[in-house]
Amino acid sequence: MWRNAITTITTCFLLGTTFTHWIADHNVLWRSPLTPAALETSIRYYALVGSGVSALGWVYLGVGAASILAAATRLVTGWRGQSGEVLFDGASLLLLSSIAYNQAFEVFPTLHSIPSPLPAHLTESESFGPLATAVRDLANDNIITAVMLTGVVFLQAGRSYATRTSSEGDGPVMMPDTTQSSALSSSASSSSGTPKPVSERHATPFRELTEDEAMEIAMLPESNGVPQPRRVQKLAHKSAK
């Protein structure tokens, strides 16, 4: 359970740090028409981020490593059959590994390629075109990273729900009431020991009558002038002999 909490907390932290870049990314992705001034604002923002304190980068790397390690150990534990959800853990680890690869080989090299300090008249310099392409790539990478981190959060939520549902399903098994069942069986056996007269057996299926039943039917008075069946009369006459 604590591994799940570590993965969720670290993922939310990384998602929050990715959302902070929106102040520069919206100038590149959603502003229309895209002006050189908007591109210059994004370039200067990422130049400031790339030349920042190196300790912040190590914190970012440490949080990402903790998230990947927690997801990996949870996957190994679940693969061994020790209360784990392999589907959710494996998908989370795959997304986190993809994010790490994207950050290591796409985001960091592009971020460090932006020089600092920048020229005073950036839009008029020769490096403006490559730098504009770089901030576009960074904005796209940040969108991809945010989507994958959101997927990890949803996977962890689904894992928690699946674990809770399975634990609630393993509740105590209700044993049947043997006293009530024995009373019902005893009453059924006692009632079956005293059969009803033939005249009251309205729901008896069709079958061959016994001699006793034929005699009992033969002694019944004819109702409404309807004679008794010939088969019953023959059985009654045969049993009388």
pLDDT tens sequence across 88-112: 888 999 999 999 999 999 999 999 9
What pLDDT does 223 receive? 47
**What is the distance between the terminal CA atoms of the chain, rounded to a whole angstrom?**
88
What pLDDT does 116 receive? 84
Q: Scan for tokens 């960091």, then name that residue.
A: 108
From first to last of its 241 residues, the chain has per-residue pLDDT tens of 778 889 999 999 999 999 999 999 998 988 888 899 999 999 999 999 988 878 888 999 999 999 999 989 888 877 766 555 788 888 999 999 999 999 999 999 999 999 888 888 888 888 899 999 999 999 999 999 999 999 999 999 988 888 776 666 555 545 555 555 555 555 555 455 555 555 555 555 556 667 777 677 767 665 445 455 555 555 555 555 5
Contact (Cβ atoms closer than 8 angstroms) between residue 7 and residue 163:
no
Q: Identify the helix (H) or strand (E) that includes residue 79.
A: helix 54-79
Distance (Å, rounded) from C-alpha 16 to C-alpha 94? 20
Q: Which two tokens stand for residue 18?
A: 């990715």
What pLDDT does 172 receive? 52
Q: Which two tokens stand for residue 227?
A: 């004679």
Q: Which of 151, 16, 139, 156 is nearest to 95 (CA)?
A: 151
